[in-house]
Structure 1
């Protein structure tokens, strides 16, 4: 009985230590407070914290209120019962989810093939590939009639990760076809049948659909 109590106490203290590490980062300062008028925001997918999972310093946390500042490429934890949010050390966040969106951190040579070290959204994950999106928000000062004004604008870049060490830039149809030359005819037929890449506004959805179709095809010699 005493051993069971000691084990429970040790487990409790370990959990507390893990949580304290999570909330022991630097304070996140919302830099848009300097402006009187703000159009848009610096967060993705939205400015409201959502429950998520997080792998930080090798520990996995679940049900944590998270924000993702994509202008700074920084994960932010909303502290319970506190006026302050915590900015996590980006190099120690290996993966996280916000709502139904998943993100991974790339670093080293594979990241250098893409947009550099940082967080990439996992759009699609197959047995031997991942379709990734690098999200950006630019911040532009636009003074207007005695007011300080800032505008956020979004941009996205797409990458196809093959294995652990190859990252290809994906701009559209031709990039996907070039990545899979052995399946080119089948992919072209799928593009025609589904009328993909006919609307620039649907480019991301079309890239996802085409790569998803590729994952359903058998490998060819």
Structure 2
């Protein structure tokens, strides 16, 4: 795990304490960079790939509703980017545009190149980039999916927001209603589900046992759809074990 933010902090502290130590002479009389400078270069080389995206500008920043997942505050997360794993990265997930944004240590907002993001973890959710026709069905959209359940019968969520406008007192108000799309992997492909009936129809031989899971744990499907679907699918996998 590359916790480079801590390394950068320590290195910059060392640089400030050793300011003025520009170089030291080697045995041949040539000058070489002072140790803190070389350490700083080594540390920043780790993060160069991470911070090479375009600048991101937060839009509709003064509106009550927002385009981000869950909340508009920066939260530290994990991202696997361009073949490297980075930890403790301040990030936001713009689900309206399906883009991951991180904060540079100088305060800039950097837009990640989505095709280089394998996955990221934010607010205890695991988002993976899945490609249509390769990782998911051809008719599904390439992008980030929240992995709700990662067992044999994998279950994923496509989280989306649309942007709407209304006029209040001659002022334009931006609204961002959210809509989630659930997919369950069964019989070699993903199936879109939304209602309790559509989930149970995927497992006709186990309906009785799967209904019992919701009753025993007192889970109301409409009120807690994500938990209900995860419980049903996990129970299906248990029942399907040889």
Q: What is the TM-score of this pair, normalised by structure 2? A: 0.75
Deviations, residues 43-95 of structure 1 (Å, cap 9, x unaligned): 1121111111111111111111111000000000011232x200001111110
Once the two structures are superposed, residues 91-120 of structure 1 have per-residue CA deviations (whole angstroms, 9 ceiling, x without a partner) of 111100013111111103143456411101
State the superposition RMSD in angstroms.
2.6
Match of 2:59 among 14, 31, 41: 31
Give 1 or 2 for the bigger CA radius of gyration: 2
Provide the residue aligned with 1:204 in structure 2. 226
Does residue 185 in structure 1 map to residue 208 in structure 2? yes
2:29 maps to which residue? Answer: none
Give the gaps of 5 or more residues in structure 1: 1-8
* More helix per residue: 1
Structural mapping, 1:112-191, within 5 Å? 112-113=137-138, 115-126=140-151, 128-162=152-186, 166-191=189-214
CA shift, 1:15, in A, is: 5.0
Matched residues, number: 205
**In structure 2, C-alpha distance between the alignment counterparts of 1:178 and 1:15, rounded to whole Å:** 53
5+ residue gaps, structure 2 = 1-36
Specify the alignment match of 2:136 in structure 1. 111
Segments of 4+ in structure 1 off by > 6 A? 9-12
Residues in 1 aligned to 2:70 and 2:39: alpha-carbon distance in whole angstroms: 35
Residue 18 (structure 1) aligns with:
46
Of 101, 114, 119, the residue aligned with 1:76 is 101
Structure number with greater CO (CA < 8 Å, separation at least 6) is: 1
For normalisation by structure 1, the TM-score amounts to: 0.81
Q: Match of 1:42?
A: 67
Residue of 200, 206, 213 corresponding to 2:235: 213
| Aligned match of 1:4 | none
